[in-house]
Structures are given as C-alpha cells and as structure tokens.
Amino acid sequence: MNLPANGEVVDLPTIKKVCEHYGLAALWTKIERDPPPLPFKSDGCTGWVNEWKAISIYSAGFLHDLKYWTGYQSEDVERLIADAELMIDVAQLLKSTAMAETM
C-alpha cells in the first residue's frame, strides 16, 4: 500500500483504508468511535531516518504515529505496545534487530 507522504494531512477515509490494509481493526474502531480533534499527519520515524540501506522503514513510523495520534500518549500500556510494535516492524522490514534495538 502506498502510504500518504511525510507531512501530508490524512483524512479519515484514508486512515480507515490504512487500518484495513494493516489489520488494525481495533485501532480503526477506536478512531471511528472518537476521532482525535487534530488532523493526522506523520513524519515517519520522528527524529530518525525513514530509509536505511535503501530499505524504507517509513511505514513503521507512520503506523507508530497513527497509534500515538489516536490517544496512546495518555495510555501507558498501549503506548508501550505501540513502541514494541515499532521495533518489531523495523526489525521485520530490515530483516535485522540491530536498528530496531537502537531506535
């Protein structure tokens, strides 16, 4: 799936498609039930690179940003899970744990 560009405001229909594509049904249910007041946009891997050795890790950062935007910044357990999922996603994309552990 082609994700919206870095910094692009993403509308709810697009967010729904992203959630469906990545199997994030519970996340979409939460967003649909109580959409955050601010529009969503991602900067990918905040303060980090979005590509490593010609492999994009932007999708991992995008999904992490989406999870935090949904209110996870005030939900400690969900935030920890989102952080762990970021690490797993990066490791899977790069087929290595080194960068994921560093992040």
d(CA 83, CA 81): 5
**Distances from the Cα of 81 to the Cα of 8, 38, 63, 100, angstroms:** 25, 23, 12, 14
Has residue 82 been placed in a domain? yes
Has residue 76 been placed in a domain? yes
pLDDT of residue 35: 94
Has residue 7 been placed in a domain? no
What is the domain count for the chain? 1
Has residue 60 been placed in a domain? yes
The domain containing residue 18 runs over which residues?
A: 12-102
d(CA 90, CA 96): 8
Task: Per-residue pLDDT tens, the chain, 103 aa: give them.
Answer: 999 999 999 999 999 999 999 999 999 999 999 999 999 999 988 878 888 899 999 999 999 999 999 987 678 888 899 999 999 999 999 999 998 888 8
Has residue 1 been placed in a domain? no
